[in-house]
A and B are shown apart, each in its own frame.
Chain A
Amino acid sequence: MNRTPVKEQGRGKERRRSTAKKLKPGTATGNVFGSTNSSQPQFHPCLLLDMCHYFKQPLCPCLSSEQESSEDGDKEGEGEDEEVEEEEEEVEKEVRPETLTPEELEKLKEAVDDKKKLIQALRGKPWPMKKKHSTLRESQEFLEKYEGALGKGKGRKLYAYKVMMNKKWMKFKRDFENFTTACIPWEMKIKEIESHFGSSVASYFIFLRWMYGINMILFDNIGTVPRAEETNAMDFAVLWDFGGYAQYSVLFYGYYNSQRAIGWLKFRMPLSYFLVGVGTVAYSYMVVIRKMARNANETGGGDENSFNFSWKTFTSWDYLIGNPETADNKFASITTSFKEAILEEQESRKDDNIHLTRFLRVLANFLVLCCLAGSGYLIYFVVRRSQKFALEGFENHTWWERNEVNMVMSLLGMFCPMLFDVISALENYHPRVALQWQLGRIFALFLGNLYTFIIALMDEINLKRKEEDVVQFNMTMWEASLHNNTADNSTAPPLFTHPADVPRGPCWETMVGQEFVRLIISDTMTTYITLLIGDFLRAVLVRFLNYCWCWDLEAGFPSYSEFDVSGNVLGLIFNQGMIWMGAFYAPCLPALNVLRLHVSMYLQCWAVMCCNVPQERVFKASGSNNFYMAMLLVILFLSTLPAIYTIVTIPPSFDCGPFSGKARMFDVIQETLESDFPAWISKVFSYAANPGLVLPFMLLMVLAIYYLQSTSKSYKEANVELKKKLQMVN
């Protein structure tokens, strides 16, 4: 038995070489590197030909089927087959693990592992199903035969058990995946939209769904703070103003009191509130950055070349399109984009009239800046006016005057982008570049408005704090008067003051929360109303007035509206920014947002299918995928700034909220550290916060960034060199 293996191995090697020659280098795929079919698995089972022989396996399955498909008959190979098989019959039929030497055992283990890997990689092989099937069956037989035999003696049962658990685990994973894909909400709706409108419009809805998921998680997070009974709802007007009882309800910051420990759990209310706030922000950052990294990975960055024409040819068709009208539009847009690209390439050498173009562009930017400044001033003015109204008492003013701020902000958000669109006609950019400028300007508009709003809010906060001091002063007087009264009859029962009689201080945090909620609600209402009027009403008018109108309403002006992907995505991002800003002061905001996104999904899906037509110029939104994520990240950062500023500088109200009575909100952390944790932890923290430690750490990070950047540059250069080499070789 010891002689024959060597001989067989020799035969095996020969056979492997001869069959390798049979594989034509260009069967399915020749390539410049001269290697064989790139679809061959890395751990080629035929490397295990030795093993196959030894354990009386016939030829390895992949080679056997490839031999079948190759055209020249392999008589020599077949002859060898028969000879070897005859010899093998002399060898023992069964293999016992005890008879194997350790290296042979190792080889067997490797063979088994490789078969397992092959099975897992089978679905990614570009083979026809028959071949995959036969490979699977053969590999499974091999595994059944030898996997159980691998564990020897006592370890055998454990090994078999492990194998069985592994199988069950794979099956469970597969079932779980099936279940989760069935559970993804709105999948059919999005699929329908994809087939009618293409993947760019559908990408907006996919983004919406992702936001919904994030808000659900934020909402659950905040829900961990315990809630007592809910307050009774008041009538709608009061509720709209979020005054009255709602003010003291669970929705707002003011409800959570400042007791250090609640109930038998010793639940630390202030600390938990603070940590929940920090946690939600950290979670949001992580999710956005992870998505960006994944997008960047898929894009395969690093190569300087953009394969403009090749991409247009190979990747421009959207296979999801199932609607002939959309397909026609797509054909037209592809043709246009080809022609444009060709023209652009020719014209990039000419520059006629560059001075005129430059002047016009500068003029356009100047106009845009004026618009932005104008809108900022308008908001500031309106907020001031509403403060004046508040001082005079809201009952004297009309509904418009009461809600002026929110209405103005929403209207600005609606009309300014249209203005920017008109101005950008002056600039004469390539459409994609123009789209990016447009998005950037809308971004600046929203940001400017939001920050002006916040600055105006700061003034109100200061006003409230002055009020607080007054109330505090009054309270001490009132308490003093109480004590004076009871001091006379010391035997009388202690005075019981009804809690509602105690004068409450104004709570600026709740006021901030209220303002945000009002803003978001009015923003939502404006969006829905524009949707209904702009899209639905327009579609109805065009459809029904067309019969009695002089020109063709459907083809000319106004025609049906298209779905504005970028505008809607921006709106979604800004809404999320506002939620993040206000979430610390009004924990109900994510819940509100979940509701809002839910309604939006259904409403917009219906509107898109019913009132919109497929876009004429179909832009791939995915190219801007990372652009939207980057904006989301910037907004997240900018939204957390005001909250951080207020936490760090403004003292909390003395009378409401979990942090009342403290000088600063983050004092709660210090207190916890001092009182609840053992002494050495606070020592550790104080060392960690030492500037002597923080500065060298920051320096280290800067050095790491510099190093990584220089290595990436050197990789790019190496890439270019290799490309040149390739061309020289051929």
Chain B
Amino acid sequence: MGATASHLGKDLLSEYQELTFLTKQEILLAHKRFTELLSREDKNLPDPRAPTEAILTLPELKSNPFRERIVRVFSTSESRDGLTFEDFLDLLSAFSDSATLEIKSHYAFRIFDFDDDGTLDENDLEKLVNCLTGETDETRLTPDEMKQLISNILEESDIDKDGTVNLSEFQHVISRSPDFVSSFKIVL
């Protein structure tokens, strides 16, 4: 990277504007918030990587049930742990207001794919629903309800009836939803 952690070069800034859906102010704000997450030693590294625990303290992600999956999906390290600044920009770009439906649905699919196998099968769906219903036992669904729910979902979305939801089926369902684009947003 042609910049230290404390200052973004001008060319780099304009390249980032070209490659993401973010405006200049948003990129600068992201840079500021990102450097706050780094520890002091890391700040002097050429391409610092903020650890996952630090990222999960961001107020925008703290209350999100999918926060760990989000960090994993956008991380480019081998162990899928921690985000560089570019990963962070990718994250904000996909979740920004002007991002297209295709890119949002692509990343949503990857976030929901808990076992990273390229399809949403019953285990993925079960974990997904458990994330949505909260941590406590009172709010969880009973096993019967869960089974019923999953079979309903597969009945609606699984067009080729192979027992899993793949990317294009997912995108087909999502594109018809009026709420998806407006709720799949994170703004710093």
Binding site for B on A (CB under 8 A): 26, 28-33, 38-39, 119, 122-126, 128-130, 132-133, 136, 174, 177-178, 181-182, 191, 194-195, 199, 203, 295, 298-300, 303, 305, 307-311, 313-324, 326-328, 331-332, 334-335, 338-339, 342, 345, 620, 622-623, 625, 723, 726-727, 729-730
Contact = CB atoms under 8 A, between A and B. Distances in A.
A314 B128 CA distance: 9
A326 B161 contact: no
B79 interface: no
Contacts of A316: 132, 179, 183
A38 B60 contact: no
**Main SS class of interface, B:** helix
A191 B97 CA distance: 12
Given A300-B176, A313-B128, 18 more contacts: A29-B118, A31-B168, A124-B102, A125-B103, A129-B89, A136-B18, A136-B19, A299-B176, A310-B153, A310-B156, A314-B170, A315-B184, A317-B65, A324-B63, A328-B134, A331-B132, A334-B133, A726-B159
Given A31-B166, A122-B19, A335 B134 contact: yes
Contacts of A39: 106
B117 to A, nearest CB: 9
A318 B180 CA distance: 9
Nearest to A624: B178
Shortest Cβ-Cβ A-B pairs, 5 listed: A331-B134, A129-B86, A327-B63, A730-B160, A309-B152
Of listed A29, A199, A622, residue having the most chain B CB within 10 A = A29
Contacts of B159: 32, 723, 726-727
Contacts of B65: 317, 327, 331
Contact of B132 (A123, A307, A313): A313
Given A122-B19, A126-B106, A129-B90, A314 B173 contact: yes
Given A299-B176, A321-B64, A338-B129, A730 B162 contact: yes
**Main SS class of interface, A:** helix
Interface string B159-188: 111100011111001111111111111110
Contacts of B60: 195, 322
Of listed B86, B178, B184, residue having the most chain A CB within 10 A = B178
B179 A620 contact: yes
Interface stretch (B33-41, B49-57, B141-149): B141-149
B21 interface: yes
Given A178-B23, A310-B156, A32 B166 contact: yes
B87 interface: yes
Given A129-B87, A730-B162, A315 B174 contact: yes
B160 A310 contact: no
Contacts of B71: none
B32 interface: no
Contact of B103 (A126, A203, A295): A126
B183 A315 contact: yes
28 contacts: A29-B167, A32-B159, A32-B160, A126-B94, A126-B107, A128-B76, A129-B19, A133-B86, A181-B25, A182-B25, A309-B156, A310-B156, A310-B173, A313-B128, A313-B153, A314-B108, A314-B173, A315-B183, A317-B132, A319-B183, A319-B184, A323-B63, A326-B63, A331-B132, A331-B134, A334-B132, A342-B148, A726-B159
Contacts, number: 200
A729 B160 CA distance: 8
A323 to B, nearest CB: 7
A177 to B, nearest CB: 7
B129 A313 contact: yes
Nearest to B64: A319
Contacts of B153: 309-310, 313
B156 A305 contact: yes
Contacts of A119: 18
B185 A307 contact: no
Contact of A178 (B24, B64, B140): B24
Contacts of A313: 125, 128-129, 132, 149, 153
A311 to B, nearest CB: 5
Contacts of B108: 314
Nearest to B23: A178
A334 B179 CA distance: 14
Contacts of A326: 63
Of listed B62, B107, B112, residue having the most chain A CB within 10 A = B62
Of listed A31, A122, A334, residue having the most chain B CB within 10 A = A31
A307 B160 contact: no
A247 to B, nearest CB: 47
A191 B15 contact: no
A708 B139 CA distance: 48
Nearest to A131: B76
B131 to A, nearest CB: 8
B34 to A, nearest CB: 13
Contacts of B95: 319
Nearest to A39: B106
Contacts of A178: 23-25
B20 A123 contact: yes
Contact of B15 (A136, A303, A317, A318): A136
Interface string B100-112: 1011001110001
Contact of B86 (A26, A130, A730): A130
Contacts of B21: 123
Contacts of A334: 132-134
A195 B182 CA distance: 13
B177 A315 contact: yes
A701 B93 CA distance: 45
Contact of A324 (B62, B161, B173, B178): B62
A29 B178 contact: no
A314 B181 CA distance: 11
Contacts of A299: 176, 178
Nearest to B74: A128
Contact of A30 (B23, B166, B176, B180): B166
Contacts of A194: 187
Contacts of A305: 156, 176
Contacts of A309: 149, 152-153, 156
A28 B15 contact: no
B149 A128 contact: no
